Amino acid sequence: MAQVLVVDDETSIREFLEIFLKRAGHTVRLAKDVAEAILRFKEEPAPDLVLTDLRLPRGSGLDVLHHVIKGGSGTQVVMMT
């Protein structure tokens, strides 16, 4: 199954997606903002998929997307809004 990073500032959305994806057999990591998402990329193996909210505090999902592209990991990114 896939490694998924969920980036959303709303706790309920993060928790819902975590439960849903874990039940489907995926490994899930969570981040509440752009800075935490970038930290996850630096400290942990690159995920297969990032699900990110477009609107985030102190940045946006586009900042997450640019970081993923710059890293060249091949990670797929889905924007939610």
- Residue, of 41 and 26, whose pLDDT is higher: 26
The answer, yes or no, to whether residue 72 has pLDDT greater than 90, is no
Query: Global pTM?
Result: 0.95
Bridge partners (DSSP) of residue 27 are 3
What are the angstrom distances between the C-alpha of 20 and each of 9, 33, 80? 18, 20, 16
Which secondary-structure segment (H or E) carries 45? Answer: none
Average pLDDT taken over every residue of the chain: 96
Which secondary-structure segment (H or E) carries 53? Answer: strand 49-53
Rounded percentage of the chain residues whose pLDDT exceeds 70: 100
What are the angstrom distances between the C-alpha of 11 and each of 18, 47, 60? 10, 20, 16
> What is the structure's pLDDT at 73?
87
